[in-house]
Amino acid sequence: MRTVGNRSSKTFKPKKNIPEGSHQYELLKHAEATLGSGNLRQAVMLPEGEDLNEWIAVNTVDFFNQINMLYGTITEFCTETSCSVMSAGPRYEYHWADGTNIKKPIKCSAPKYIDYLMTWVQDQLDDETLFPSKIGVPFPKNFMSVAKTILKRLFRVYAHIYHQHFDSVMQLQEEAHLNTSFKHFIFSCRSEFNLIDRRELAPLQDLIEKLGSKDR
């Protein structure tokens, strides 16, 4: 884990940067500008004339970076002892498999699972055949399927933080940051583009409904 200055700038894995000057960088700046307006529903909408795959790619990188930073703030509380299984409350437990290095799902601690997960996501984002950063290079036919798997798995980190570490988040006064990040994630992945199956969201369904009703 890298520590840069204060706690809030810790990241669990190195931040994934979108190259400056690229079209995806311009899209990221557009997203940041509309997020700054405070209207999250508007911020997640596909900008007029833009490619859906590229927009989903930019947002997937952004969510990876956000979760990376949020988890980075609480890693000292998420240990092999305190979180010996990767769970989201008593009813939901996650086992890790990536289909390549680990084909059969394995039960492991939350820090180990999240390390596997974030390393796996990083490898996908760094793969130019899956996430092309150069203008004119097409996205693969299976891009949306890959993005959906990444986002489904990133959701599990939010679920773990909310269920197992929310007290620590409140102690660190990071709850507003966590809530805004998660609301942005849900509005994009569920409300706007339907990228995550409703069943996958069950561990945080009550919170999702509360966030949605507040915004109406």
The verdict on whether residue 23 carries a ligand-binding annotation is: no
Place of tokens 């933080």: 161
The pLDDT assigned to 9 comes to: 45
The verdict on whether residue 160 carries a ligand-binding annotation is: yes
Question: Is 13 within 8 Å of 68 (Cβ atoms)?
Answer: yes
What CA–CA distance (Å, rounded) separates 154 from 63? 8
What CA–CA distance (Å, rounded) separates 190 from 213? 14
Helices marked H in the chain: 23-36, 40-43, 52-74, 110-126, 143-171, 175-186, 205-215
What CA–CA distance (Å, rounded) separates 76 from 168? 10
The verdict on whether residue 165 carries a ligand-binding annotation is: yes
- More confidently predicted of 3 and 26: 26
The pLDDT assigned to 36 comes to: 58
Per-residue pLDDT averaged across 195-202, rounded?
95
Per-residue pLDDT averaged across 4-15, rounded?
52
The verdict on whether residue 108 carries a ligand-binding annotation is: no
